[in-house]
Amino acid sequence: GAGVSQSPSNKVTEKGKDVELRCDPISGHTALYWYRQSLGQGLEFLIYFQGNSAPDKSGLPSDRFSAERTGGSVSTLTIQRTQQEDSAVYLCASSKRGAGSDTQYFGPGTRLTVL
Protein backbone atom coordinates (compact mmCIF):
# COMPACT_ATOMS: atom_id res chain seq x y z
CA GLY A 1 0.00 0.00 0.00
CA ALA A 2 0.95 3.64 -0.27
CA GLY A 3 0.31 4.57 3.35
CA VAL A 4 2.62 5.13 6.30
CA SER A 5 3.91 1.87 7.72
CA GLN A 6 5.43 1.20 11.10
CA SER A 7 7.25 -1.77 12.53
CA PRO A 8 7.00 -3.67 14.70
CA SER A 9 3.29 -3.41 15.44
CA ASN A 10 3.88 -4.65 18.97
CA LYS A 11 7.02 -4.67 21.07
CA VAL A 12 7.41 -6.10 24.56
CA THR A 13 10.69 -5.41 26.25
CA GLU A 14 12.26 -5.52 29.67
CA LYS A 15 13.06 -2.43 31.67
CA GLY A 16 16.55 -1.19 30.88
CA LYS A 17 16.71 -2.56 27.34
CA ASP A 18 17.01 -0.39 24.23
CA VAL A 19 14.32 -0.47 21.52
CA GLU A 20 14.14 0.78 17.95
CA LEU A 21 10.89 1.67 16.25
CA ARG A 22 10.73 2.14 12.51
CA CYS A 23 8.59 4.36 10.31
CA ASP A 24 8.29 4.29 6.52
CA PRO A 25 6.55 7.49 5.41
CA ILE A 26 4.56 7.98 2.25
CA SER A 27 6.91 8.30 -0.70
CA GLY A 28 7.60 11.93 -1.55
CA HIS A 29 6.48 13.32 1.78
CA THR A 30 9.13 15.65 3.13
CA ALA A 31 7.77 16.01 6.65
CA LEU A 32 7.75 13.26 9.26
CA TYR A 33 6.42 13.36 12.82
CA TRP A 34 6.65 11.08 15.82
CA TYR A 35 3.98 11.10 18.52
CA ARG A 36 3.21 8.90 21.45
CA GLN A 37 -0.10 8.14 23.07
CA SER A 38 -0.02 6.94 26.65
CA LEU A 39 -3.08 5.26 28.12
CA GLY A 40 -5.95 7.72 28.43
CA GLN A 41 -3.90 10.58 27.03
CA GLY A 42 -3.88 12.49 23.78
CA LEU A 43 -1.17 12.31 21.19
CA GLU A 44 2.02 13.85 22.51
CA PHE A 45 4.36 15.44 19.98
CA LEU A 46 7.88 14.03 20.14
CA ILE A 47 9.91 15.12 17.11
CA TYR A 48 9.48 16.59 13.62
CA PHE A 49 11.68 16.23 10.53
CA GLN A 50 11.35 18.51 7.51
CA GLY A 51 13.55 17.82 4.52
CA ASN A 52 17.20 18.49 5.30
CA SER A 53 16.48 20.97 8.07
CA ALA A 54 17.51 20.32 11.65
CA PRO A 55 14.72 18.36 13.36
CA ASP A 56 12.47 19.92 15.98
CA LYS A 57 13.26 17.75 19.00
CA SER A 58 11.39 19.89 21.50
CA GLY A 59 8.93 17.13 22.39
CA LEU A 60 11.42 14.42 23.29
CA PRO A 61 10.79 13.67 26.98
CA SER A 62 14.38 12.81 27.93
CA ASP A 63 17.82 12.22 26.47
CA ARG A 64 17.02 8.50 26.38
CA PHE A 65 14.92 9.28 23.30
CA SER A 66 16.47 9.96 19.92
CA ALA A 67 15.39 9.75 16.30
CA GLU A 68 17.00 9.70 12.92
CA ARG A 69 15.71 10.06 9.43
CA THR A 70 18.01 8.57 6.84
CA GLY A 71 17.99 9.81 3.27
CA GLY A 72 14.93 11.90 3.92
CA SER A 73 12.75 8.83 4.06
CA VAL A 74 12.76 6.09 6.70
CA SER A 75 12.91 7.15 10.33
CA THR A 76 13.96 5.27 13.45
CA LEU A 77 12.95 6.25 16.97
CA THR A 78 15.32 4.83 19.57
CA ILE A 79 14.58 4.60 23.26
CA GLN A 80 17.55 3.69 25.42
CA ARG A 81 17.30 2.09 28.84
CA THR A 82 13.54 1.80 28.61
CA GLN A 83 11.40 2.55 31.65
CA GLN A 84 7.88 1.36 32.43
CA GLU A 85 6.53 4.88 31.84
CA ASP A 86 7.72 4.59 28.23
CA SER A 87 4.91 2.09 27.62
CA ALA A 88 2.64 3.69 25.03
CA VAL A 89 1.58 3.57 21.41
CA TYR A 90 4.15 5.34 19.25
CA LEU A 91 2.67 6.88 16.12
CA CYS A 92 4.45 8.17 13.06
CA ALA A 93 2.91 10.56 10.54
CA SER A 94 4.06 12.14 7.32
CA SER A 95 2.88 15.07 5.26
CA LYS A 96 3.81 16.52 1.90
CA ARG A 97 5.46 19.72 3.00
CA GLY A 98 5.06 20.03 6.74
CA ALA A 99 3.04 23.23 6.48
CA GLY A 100 0.43 23.74 9.15
CA SER A 101 -2.39 23.17 6.71
CA ASP A 102 -0.92 19.95 5.35
CA THR A 103 -2.78 16.78 6.15
CA GLN A 104 -0.79 14.37 8.28
CA TYR A 105 -1.14 10.73 7.39
CA PHE A 106 -0.62 8.42 10.32
CA GLY A 107 0.73 4.92 10.49
CA PRO A 108 -0.98 2.25 12.59
CA GLY A 109 1.46 2.73 15.46
CA THR A 110 3.79 0.55 17.49
CA ARG A 111 2.49 -0.56 20.86
CA LEU A 112 5.43 -0.64 23.25
CA THR A 113 5.15 -2.47 26.55
CA VAL A 114 7.98 -2.20 29.03
CA LEU A 115 7.83 -4.86 31.73
Partner 1 sequence: DQQVKQNSPSLSVQEGRISILNCDYTNSMFDYFLWYKKYPAEGPTFLISISSIKDKNEDGRFTVFLNKSAKHLSLHIVPSQPGDSAVYFCAASGVYNFNKFYFGSGTKLNVKP
- Which residues of this chain interact with partner 1, rule CB under 8 A? 4, 31, 33, 35, 40-45, 48, 50, 56, 58-59, 91, 93, 98-101, 103-109
Secondary structure class of 70 (helix, strand, coil): helix
- Shortest distance, position 103 Cβ to partner 1, whole Å: 5
- Shortest distance, position 112 Cβ to partner 1, whole Å: 15
Pick the closer one to partner 1 by CB: 71 or 100: 100
Preceding amide of 108 cis, omega within 30? no
CA-to-CA dists, residue 84 to 2, 37, 114, angstroms: 34, 14, 5
Cα dihedral angle (34, 62, 21, 39), rounded to 10 degrees? -70
Pick the closer one to partner 1 by CB: 73 or 104: 104
Pick the closer one to partner 1 by CB: 46 or 114: 46
Distance CA 97, CA 109 (A): 21
- Shortest distance, position 41 Cβ to partner 1, whole Å: 6
CA-to-CA dists, residue 97 to 27, 46, 76, 105, angstroms: 12, 18, 20, 12
Pick the closer one to partner 1 by CB: 67 or 107: 107
